[in-house]
Structure 1
Amino acid sequence: MKIIKLFLRFSIAIGFLSASADRLGMWAKEYSAWGNWDSFLEYTKVLNPWVPNSLIPTIAIIATGAEVNFAIFLLIGFKTELFAKLSGILLLIFALSMTFSIGIKSVFDYSVFTASAAAFALSLLKEKYLEVDTLIQKDKLKEKNENH
């Protein structure tokens, strides 16, 4: 179970980081989906046609910021259950936006519902393994024992 949890943490985190790197132009063109921020803004508009154009950059920044932060916290294992749930919610919102704006096939092709389900499953795995949370928990127990 420990290796499965680690695999889920890293898979979700690396997926977020790869997508964020792509929209920031860090992937070579032959591997890129967006390639730059402007293309990502256009895609964000496609997925959110009901949102005013003036808010599209804000949505893109929030989504990218969330993905980068969630990825970092999942990689280091900080509040894993919380950030796994938040990742599941973010991916589910993305999947639903894709479904209602461009159709369900792309959601299935890119396994967005699967990624969301994986994040929610990760949030249910309580045993800690290679997580900062373990160190924090040990420090709190040590402090508690010293104070009593």
Structure 2
Amino acid sequence: MEDSFKIPQLLLRYALGITFLTPVADRLGILGAPGTGNIEWGNWNNFIDYTTTLMPVFDRPMVNVMGGIATVAELLVGICLIIGFKTKYAAIGASLITFTFIVFMTLSVGIQKPVNYGVFTAAAAGLVLSRISIYTWSMDNLLNKKTK
């Protein structure tokens, strides 16, 4: 039986990976200065200011640490999804990260923000992607073929 899900799973991996890498680039100032174009933060300080509103129970140094952990996690998940390395685990990680965002965003600013930002969609996409058995055109598939 032919795998008819080759291209959709590849597109889902890329879309979800880019969904994680773009905010990282934004908060590091790579996409442009604050207030230009569609830039949400434009620098780390603006990102931490926003994150502080999502985590009002934590003081700023702790939010800085949490923001750093989230940024590293998003970077790793995004890269792994795009190249297809440890894809199942990266997809599960993507869902866990986005479910965490859903909880903090909903509790602090309401349900509309995670809906507007597509956080529910990203969480569901990660779950769907984690259930695929073979990731065609991925490092996983390439490494799996070399070990056989």
Question: Is TM > 0.5 for Structure 1 vs Structure 2?
Answer: yes
SS in 2 for 1:30: coil
Structure 2: which 5+ residue stretches go unaligned?
Answer: none
Amino acid at match of 2:30: M
Matching residue within 61, 64, 69 for 2:71: 64
Q: What does residue 26 of structure 1 align with?
A: 30
Give the superposition deviation at 1:127: 2.0
Matching residue within 126, 129, 133 for 1:119: 126
Q: What does residue 14 of structure 1 align with?
A: 18
Larger Rg: 1
Give the superposition deviation at 1:35: 1.0
Query: Which one has a larger percent helix, Structure 1 or Structure 2?
Result: 1
Please give the per-residue CA displacement for 1:63-104, whole angstroms capped at 9, x wherever unaligned: 010111111111111111111001110011011110000000
Q: Could you list the runs of 4 or more consecutive aligned residues of structure 1 that deviate by over 6 angstroms after TM superposition? A: none
1:3 and 2:7 are equivalent in the alignment: yes
Q: CA RMSD in A?
A: 1.0
Task: Give the aligned length.
Answer: 141
Q: What does residue 46 of structure 1 align with?
A: 53
Q: What does residue 73 of structure 1 align with?
A: 80
Give the superposition deviation at 1:26: 1.4
Structure 1: which 5+ residue stretches go unaligned?
Answer: 142-148
Query: Percent sequence identity over matched residues?
Result: 38
